[in-house]
Amino acid sequence: MENKNKHQLNYGNHEKLIAWQMADKLDEIIQEILRAVLKNEFVIRRQLDSASDSVGANIVEGYYSGSIPEFIRFLRYARRSCGEVQERVARIKRKRLITDDLYETFKPQCIKTGYIIDRLISSLCERRDAKS
């Protein structure tokens, strides 16, 4: 059956996406960071938790949008949220609310997650442009 919309995606299981797997692993580390941050730091905790949730949620929302341009748009939101997570955790470290070891566990995972999202965006842009 021919796809009438040249920018449409075939649905599947978002959990198979490496970008989502990386975001999920990043969120596991963020949850560990949140447990380490004092409970009375509720603003920091809320902001970090929200930003971390946005990374994975935007990947999923874009994936199920059904179109390559929409998926790209939501992946860009996810990438920005990943950058926000990186900055917020760096600030938490500067405030000495987490250990250096926990930060060193977080940092490479965050960088890799952002990189994988960037690569997926590039791949989808190439696919979109090839179909134009």
The pLDDT of residue 1 is 35
- Taking phi over 0 as left and psi of -120 to 50 as alpha, with beta for the rest, 34 belongs to alpha
The answer to whether the Cα torsion of 79, 82, 86, 87 is positive or negative is positive
The pLDDT of residue 4 is 46
Q: Region 117-128: what's the mean pLDDT?
A: 95
The pLDDT mean for the chain works out to 91
CA dist 31 and 48 (Å) reads 9
So what CATH class is 15-131?
mainly alpha
Q: Do residues 48 and 104 lie in contact, with contact meaning Cβ atoms separated by under 8 Å?
A: no
Q: What is the pLDDT of residues 4-14, one digit of tens each?
A: 455 556 567 89
The pLDDT of residue 48 is 96
The pLDDT of residue 41 is 87
Task: Give the residue extent of every domain in the chain.
Answer: 15-131
Q: What is the pLDDT of residues 16-60, one digit of tens each?
A: 999 999 999 999 999 999 999 988 889 999 999 999 999 999 999
Tokens describing residue 108: 């490479």
The pLDDT of residue 21 is 97
Which has the higher per-residue pLDDT, 109 or 11? 109
